[in-house]
Amino acid sequence: MEPRSDEEWRVILSPEQYSVTRKGGTESPFTGSLLNNKEQGTYKCVCCGLSLFSSEDKYDSGSGWPSFVRPISSNAVFEKKDISHGMNRTEVICPHCEAHLGHVFQDGPDPTGLRYCINSVSLNFYSLKKE
């Protein structure tokens, strides 16, 4: 994917999508459109369309954001240390377009023990349900 300018991202994305994916923001807890989604399908990056998470790995963490035990593949996301806001966290980023997706924590359920806490606005959901 060829890099896009800041102006291009502002045109392509909604203001909230831009704030979260391009500026590292966070949507308010319990407000995301995908939080309670229980359909079978794939969650993809809202910026570039890369497949990131499967509905098979989604669970209700009670945190207020869609949560997953693992990405769809070992190279689907990139992780980096995030010490912003006085916290020590691990940021989750799309490896294709470098969109900020959320954070991963080590307090999830089996089988991984991980909780990928992802902003709904950073994702598009593609249902497996046949219409």
Average pLDDT over residues 9-29: 95
Domains (range + CATH), the chain: 6-27+39-127 (2.170.150.20)
CB 12 within 8 A of CB 124: no
pTM score over 0.85: yes
**Tell me, what's the pLDDT at 130?**
62
**Span 105-120, average pLDDT:** 96
Question: Residue 102's pLDDT is what?
Answer: 96
Task: Using the predicted structure, report yes or no on whether residue 131 has a pLDDT greater than 60.
Answer: no
Band of pLDDT at residue 129, cut at 50, 70 and 90: confident
- Please give, one letter per residue, the 3-state secondary structure of the chain: CCCCCHHHHHHHCCHHHHHHHCCCCCCCCCCCCCCCCCCCEEEEECCCCCEEEEHHHEECCCCCCCEECCCCCCCCCEEEEECHHHCCEEEEECCCCCCEEEEEECCCCCCCCCEEEECHHHEEEEECCCC
Known catalytic membership, residue 117? yes
* pLDDT tier for residue 3 given thresholds of 50, 70 and 90: confident
Q: From the candidates 47, 94, 97, 117, give the one annotated as an active-site residue.
A: 117
The average confidence (pLDDT) of the chain is: 93
Top-confidence residue, 22 or 88: 22
pLDDT digits (tens, 9 = 90+) for 40-82: 999 999 999 999 999 999 999 999 999 999 999 999 999 998 7
